[in-house]
Structure 1
Amino acid sequence: MRTDRRTGQTYLCTPKTPEGQDPAPVEYTLPDGEVIEAPAPIVVNAEDFRNLGILPSTAHQERAPHTLKNYNTNFWASPQEQTFDIEMGGVPVQVRATPVSYRFDYGDGESLNTVNAGYQLGEEVWDEPTPTSHKYVQPGDYTYAVTTFYRGEFSVAGGPWQVIDGTGEAVSEGQLVRVWRTQVGLVADDCSADGGAWGCPGTDR
């Protein structure tokens, strides 16, 4: 702060580094007491975060890879919090990635953005809607995947955690889902009596 002697008014002055002069070095004290000097404050930015190689969630489908047309097909993701130990400017830095949201791409042009990773229903449950389930309106083969979005935080030399601006993302490997149609017909005999009857192996009925 500076006070003008003529007017008595006080001004708040922000110190500035002279042009062309390097900023003062920053000292970091490690948990073991060792002091490391860095040329500038250590900051992990969004690009640094995305380049860490964050692992995607594992994508799952109930009764994979099969489902039926117009049935509720349940999908879910298995995310994991991840921690990375890196070094910046000779200073140890720990970074952690926490999953915060998901995009389910079902392979038929439809997708879902949600904060819910979904959950498994179990083999005994069929055609039950869930927050991440999907109905396919046409039979065929599709490829689905899950993109997981992560919030980043970093700690320099064991210091407090700081939030990284922006998010990181990782896409799961695409998985095959086969959508079948159902057809109902009346059957008078079993396949042992008439191998060409409706629904018997080798027929298209």
Structure 2
Amino acid sequence: MPSRRYRAVVVGASLGGFHALRTLFAALHGRFPWPVIAVLHTATEDVSDMAQLYAARTPLNVSEAPERVAPQAGNVYLAPGGMHLLIETDGRFAFSTEARVNFSRPSIDVLFDSAADVYRSGLIGVVLTGANDDGARGLSAIRSRGGLAIVQNPATAEAPSMPAAALDIAGADYVLDLEKLGPQLNRLAGLDA
């Protein structure tokens, strides 16, 4: 039985993130009970091909986040290219073309901050590989509202700067090698790892 405490998972990745996200999504159980919302820094504006590649490796539905729709359990949502992805106070996705944050749009911090305001202690934040510090302040916001923080072990990251910054600024409840992240999320959901 899934923990009633949690309601959503947000994930951020940058350099090396395509492989890291593919590994994470492939490990999630087919009955995973929460929506997973991910930001990947990418040069492409069209993430639909990427969504199809991820979908081939996981039993969960994978798609680009649709604007003005509330995230649903058992789905993986990818931030659209070139736009910030936010969770509005009514729980629905919203897009923004405001200035880049940490040189990025979409920004991990923007998603994490807005999701922390909505889900509060019901949110799990995950920071993966990356070459900057995007996500560190957002993960701090998640923890300050009672949410759970998981960070990829920098030693196992293709680019260790982002998880290292997250640990420096926010700390973490779990620091795990990439291959152990999905099984840990399954355990938190009360599912077989």
* Bigger Cα Rg: 1
Could you say which structure has the higher helix fraction? 2
TM-score of the superposed pair, with normalisation by structure 2: 0.20
Higher strand share: 1
So what's the TM-score if we normalise by structure 1? 0.19
